[in-house]
Amino acid sequence: MTKSFSLWGAAAVLAASMLSTNAAAQVSYAPVTFKNASVHDPSVIKTGGTYYVFGSHLASAKSTDLMNWTQITDSVSATNKLFLNGSSNVYTELAETFSWAQSNTLWAPDVIRLADGKYYMYYNACKGDSPRSALGIAVSNNIEGPYVNKGIILKSGMWGQASYDGTIYDALKHPNTVDPNVFFDNGGRLWMIYGSYSGGIFIMQMNPVTGMPLPGQGYGKRLIGGNHSRIEGAYVMYSPATQYYYMFTSFGGLDAAGGYNMRVSRATSADGPYFDAQGVNMANVKADPTKPLFDDASIAPYGVKIMGNFLFERKLGELGTGIGTGYVSAGHNSAYYDAATGKHFLIFHTRFPERGEQHEIRVHQMFMNADGWPVVTPYRNTNETLAAVPRGFVFGDYMFVNHGKDISATIKKSKFITLNANGTISGAVSGTWALVGANQAEINLPGSPPFKGVFLRQWDETSQSYVMTFTATSREGVSVMGSRLPSGSDMQIVHAIYSELSLGNTNAVTGDMTLPTSAARDAVITWTSSNPRVLSNTGQVTSPSGDVTVTLTATISKGMAKAVKSFVVTVRKLGGMVAYFPFDGNLNDATGAFGAGAVIGAKIDTAGGSLGYEPGMKGSAAVFDGATGVRLPNGLISSNTYTVAMWLKPAQLTAFTTTFFGARTGDSWISLLPKGHDGVGGATMLWSGTAWYDAGLGMNIPVGQWSHVAFTVKNGAVNIYVNGAKRYSGVNFPNVFTTTSGVFALGVNWWDAPYKGSMDDLRIYGTALTDGEISSIAR
């Protein structure tokens, strides 16, 4: 018999706690915290008890536990301490390098300590749109500098001239002299592996005393790549556990849309040959010269792909908040074997789903599977130790990711599977699983050789709990990962979904609504509208002639368990004013659709603040003192078509300070800045953090006088106006407001200095006003 119920008041609160209480009862733990830093292309070295990473643009950071990082430097500048020595700085010290490479920045370096106790930095610079590069050495007595240049050791891109092997430089077969990794092999010989795109990845033997290349090698020996295949970021780690050298490389493009992914091959000698799990000699992996440049299809089948774009997607009703945990274009890694503990670590940079090009360091442990291949843990390192796993801790529901072999910007979102007690797998994929020995995992899926790896208990940042995970790879070079979900009955899962299900502020809906139809553990949500002619069962709005109240009813179903939840929605005429804040001595919405704004402190989540009023352009105006903001009601904008218009009179111009701020999350937002960043010359701008959209106006609104500023967005087309005149027009503006629960504020955000000045007559429309309509309200 199907169970159906409705939850209200205290019953809803009780029900919502059931799933999380059940999960918490399974394990007790202390919360784990991290401190993040940003270093692109991090190369690791440990000295004393501290790990250092050095990366592109002369960024660096350090950590004692591979969890909490302290940023040391962050850009190439005359004040960067790594090369600051009296009157000498990186520009003077490496002047020859910058001149040859026709660049003002540096790419991925590597630092190693040689027998003399000094630290040798292998630096490099590249023009960027061609492989005209220089690679050199700088030396320091202290790992944090200052480094003193010892000169360039390799160059590339000498068009029409002889290269280091005596032949005319050819970018299809000769290397781009960037991205070095210098390491000792098991016999004490020193090597440098380097290269990026162009002719591939090369290796040279080095003098272990001077750090310089041994003579007579030319560019060295090619190990992988060529014909401009997108393979770069090579790094070699020797593992005493398997007695193999592992060559890590990144395939694809490094930006958020580039499909960057990490792959590994192995050899019994430092200089190769390196083979993948299918037995392919990686020296044969290169782009097809008959195809266009950067042909990924030629190289995608090869190497063991250990991680690509993925998301352990948090579904409605699961523990935690946000979209879940995952990475975008993770890569250009280094690796470290800790002889004292026998642990292997993977250190890389990564971008994140819905966070554009923002990147941070991540460290994951690796374990060697039964076939001697590294498998990467699903979650970041907490210095956990592989231990015996009781079989009863393994079976249950999992988020499952198959990384495949493709090179793609697509984020592989987790699928719902169950590892059943009888050893079968059901759900999105079918097959069998086994716990071999104390902690070894074997996953068998149809049409694939066995995936071998480990079961490991890890900290999940989304649920803020320890969970069972598995990571495994097959002899086809494909990796899979799983993260166990807390146990719970169908009824408990439906309760949790019911509690979280929300449509945000539904007092003034003018555009189509996004109605969730799936939730935790493949639960289904179906919707029924009381007036489908105005608001359909799928959330489509047909504009009425006036306000219409509609009831949307959600039915949540999982197995035999059901719950029903209703929402009252006011649908307003499309194109009408959604909200109007005239600031006439208060923060009320004059349309009555939304509640009043609230005075807050210097950040969105900070209490306090003191707002004043003065004569404005239309009645009174709100006065912001530089330490105060206004929290507006949630859901003011809930579609990809809208207009925001307001009068502004800044008392000062401060870079990054917002006036109107709206966000779906802390990583997906829009911000109207009287003074923007250096990338737009400090001009007034509309900024978005979803994909770092910079709409600079080429001018600043003046201090001490009123300016009318408005912007319209219509399905990615954006226009910005000052005093009724269009100052900017663009396309592909991010769709930030995909829900009705967006956060909005005036004068403050979560990060920057508050606004100082006055505001008046804030109007928000559910349509993109025309040029003439903007002009009429700017009077």
Cα angle: 65, vertex 71, 74; to 5 degrees: 145
* Catalytic one of 41, 276, 318, 761: 41
Instruction: Specify the residue for token string 């005393």.
Output: 209
Is residue 641 a contact partner of residue 767, using CB atoms and an 8 Å limit?
Answer: yes
Coil, strand or helix at 673: strand
313 is catalytic: no
Is residue 476 a contact partner of residue 278, using CB atoms and an 8 Å limit?
Answer: yes
- Give the C-alpha distances (Å, rounded to integers) separating 766 from 120, 573, 577, 662, 710: 59, 9, 7, 15, 14
- How far apart CA 609 and CA 605 sit, in angstroms, is 12
What are the φ and ψ backbone dihedral angles of 592, each rounded to 5 degrees? Answer: 80, 0
- How far apart CA 455 and CA 441 sit, in angstroms, is 6
What are the φ and ψ backbone dihedral angles of 151, each rounded to 5 degrees? Answer: 115, 165
Residues 6+ away with beta carbon under 8 Å from 111:
43, 45, 52, 54, 119, 120, 121, 122, 143
What are the φ and ψ backbone dihedral angles of 93, each rounded to 5 degrees? Answer: -65, -40
- How far apart CA 674 and CA 695 sit, in angstroms, is 12
Coil, strand or helix at 257: coil
- How far apart CA 164 and CA 159 sit, in angstroms, is 13
Is residue 140 a contact partner of residue 149, using CB atoms and an 8 Å limit?
Answer: no
- Give the C-alpha distances (Å, rounded to integers) separating 522 from 182, 273, 560, 581: 48, 46, 13, 42
Using CB atoms within 10 Å of the CB of residue 699, give its burial: 0 to 12 exposed, 13 to 18 middle, 19+ buried: exposed
* Catalytic one of 110, 232, 360, 761: 232
Strand partners, 459: 466
**What's the maximum distance between 2 C-alpha atoms anywhere in the chain?**
83
Coil, strand or helix at 25: helix
232 is catalytic: yes
Active-site residue list: 41, 232
